[in-house]
Chain A
Amino acid sequence: MTEELLRIDALHVAFGEREVVRGVDLRIAPGEVVGLVGESGSGKSMSALALMRLLPTGGRISSGAIRFKGQDLMEMPQRAFNALRGSQIGMIFQDPLSALNPAISIGRQMIDMIRAHQPLSHGAAMARAEELLTLVGIPYPKQRLLAYPHELSGGMRQRVMIALAVSCNPSLLIADEPTTALDVTVQAQVMDLLDRIRTEFSIAILFISHNLELVAEISSRVIVMYAGRIVETGEVHDLFAAPRHPYTRQLLRCIPRLDGSHGAMPTIPGLPPRIGALPPGCPFAPRCDRAEAICHNETPPIVWHNRQMAVCHFAKEAVPA
């Protein structure tokens, strides 16, 4: 791989004694889009929040290393980190309504954000804000600058978030479930916008979602997480053609498709394990359709196949999904 933009090694995040992220390695090259997939509670959001120093109260990075453009983010003083966050790393969240200040107009929030990171006059920042709103496809941008978050639809609010996130030309954008709260038609618009932003700004994106099909639309590499660990990773084409972890296969099967099939939907039985109450052996074994006795007793090995990695006793079997 060429020069790395972001490199995370063996990241562990814990709330007290409970580890929610248990050794995550992640590399993102400049301009690359990496998809991070998993169910609620798999640790995908916590990994991203840890990177941004936005962990909820009680959460801390218990061990690991995070390097961004060669700088050690773990050791960086808070002031320097604040300057970097927002200008070099942008983030968009699932719920733009709670990420935007409800009592301040869109324009004011954008101007504050732009001026916090760039030496621009109020007027120049306003012009930039208008330009950004146009870029993300908001009609009547001048009037929208005066609007408050509640006056915009969910899709429009997410566009404002994207405009804010890219306002300082960051080299990395973290998108945490950016379309989960949106309608499918609006989701399509936002995915289209992200794709456009990526080519226009040659920005790297860490795209977090629970929907593998959605992730595959934009990502070149996919990471699948389960119970705080990476269980499979690979180039998106390899992973779709031959998923090597049963969880990835079962996840792919669950996605509602328009293939004309009728009747019961495929599901993954049961629930993800509670953090702090992990079963011995492979944490996915109780829900796995491929599990054998060994899975319930022994921790599965890391198995590499070319550039694809899976953590499973049976990872050598390449079964089409």
Chain B
Amino acid sequence: MKADAPPLMQLNALRKTYRLRRTLIERLKGVDRVVTAVDGVSLSIQRGSILGLVGESGCGKSTLAQMLVGLLPPTGGTIEYDGTDMSGLAGDAWLNYRQGVQMVFQDTGSSLNPRKRIRTILREAVAARGLKGDCQDTRVAALMEQVGLDIQLLSRYPHALSGGQRQRVGIARALAMEPSLLLADEPVSSLDVSLQGQIINLLRELNENLGLTIVLISHDLAVVARVCDAIAVMYSGRIVESGTPDQVLTAPRHPYTQALLDAVPRGLERRDRKRTILPVESGPILTGCKFRRRCARAVNACETTDPKLATAGPGGHEAACLMVG
């Protein structure tokens, strides 16, 4: 990874808020009820790298991904893609962006049309790229080979494939657009352990062979750690720790990252060393550190001071915790 080259994608203080429905009294009083899903995320995605985005359900990682592919407009902040701000794009430039940034979804059961054969699903994708006639079939066959699927499966419907095979179709469909950035949102969390590796390895091969930049979103650090060049840990709409897998895994600085590491199943080892269990989340936190009520190390200052991402170690390792540094 070349850190000095300009990043493929640069997020600057990206925000997404949702307004909730207000009661009549709230409307009369002019009170706003707002939920912040993504709260000022700044992140560089280096060309040709694999970035792991880790966090629990509801932390905003999927909202972030949807903003990156252009499915949701950001409330604030900017997304720079290849040096240009995406918000002003229109017409061909916008189409170009949408083709360049593709997404693979978690639930292949609902992201592939159940009434279309795999061949039709992939043909539609290559047709959107402008291919016609026989060229379509050639390209579809090439895509199937690229994701390691037998072309005999083309005449099947999605339900007749296994979960792993369906996920490969999802990846093939994304590749049909010849993207430069692939967002994989929990691509393996609904798969058996024995198949997770196959999909992760496929993503890794695509990264190596095509130079495809990948953002791998997952709640499981153990999956992400293995293949990523950089890891960003999200909590409550913010990046709370980022660095290389080595930095984040061997010297985690944020208490949340430490809890995530501790949560990975460890079999027999677990019987001798009990894990620290994160307390259940109890309502929104408006001031100070968003993690403080679940944090074992929280002090008084955490209630008032909002921690910012700061250097937590050598080589660009950063964490947002008052107890760091």
Contact = CB atoms under 8 A, between A and B. Distances in A.
Given A184-B221, A267-B201, A213 B265 contact: yes
Contact of B270 (A217, A237, A256, A261): A217
Contacts of A187: 263, 265
B134 interface: no
Contact of B277 (A40, A189, A271): A189
B285 interface: no
B267 A184 contact: no
A268 B270 contact: no
A258 B267 contact: no
Contact of B262 (A138, A155, A188, A237): A188
Interface residues of B, number: 46
A214 B223 CA distance: 15
Contacts, number: 128
A183 B233 CA distance: 14
Given A256-B222, A260-B249, A265-B201, A185 B192 contact: no
B264 A185 contact: no
A193 to B, nearest CB: 9
B267 A265 contact: no
Nearest to B294: A185
Contacts of A250: 194
B264 A254 contact: no
Interface in A266-313: 266-268, 271
B193 interface: yes
Nearest to B163: A40
A216 interface: yes
Contacts of A267: 194-195, 197-198, 201
A211 interface: yes
Contact of B196 (A256, A260, A264): A256
Contacts of A64: none
A11 interface: no
Contacts of B250: 260
A255 B269 CA distance: 14
Contacts of A231: none
Contacts of A137: 280
Interface string B79-104: 00000000000000000000000000
Contacts of A189: 277-278, 280
B303 to A, nearest CB: 19
A258 B164 contact: no
B185 interface: no
Contacts of A191: 265
A39 B194 contact: yes
B261 A258 contact: yes
Query: Which residue, A139, A184, A213, A266, has most C-beta atoms of chain B within 10 A?
Result: A184
A240 B200 contact: no
Query: Which residue, B192, B196, B198, B270, has most C-beta atoms of chain A within 10 A?
Result: B192
Given A192-B277, A256-B220, A267-B201, A261 B263 contact: no
A81 to B, nearest CB: 32
Contacts of B223: 256
Contact of B194 (A156, A251, A262, A263): A251
Contacts of A258: 221-222, 225, 249, 261, 264
B39 to A, nearest CB: 19
Nearest to A138: B280
B136 to A, nearest CB: 28
Interface of B: 56-58, 162-165, 192-198, 200-201, 204, 219-223, 225-227, 245-246, 249-250, 259-268, 270-271, 275, 277-278, 280, 282
9 contacts: A39-B194, A185-B260, A188-B262, A188-B263, A211-B193, A217-B271, A236-B268, A254-B193, A265-B227
Interface of A: 39-40, 137-139, 153-156, 183-189, 191-192, 210-217, 236-237, 240, 250-251, 254-258, 260-268, 271
Given A212-B193, A214-B267, A250-B194, 4 more contacts: A138-B280, A256-B220, A258-B225, A265-B227
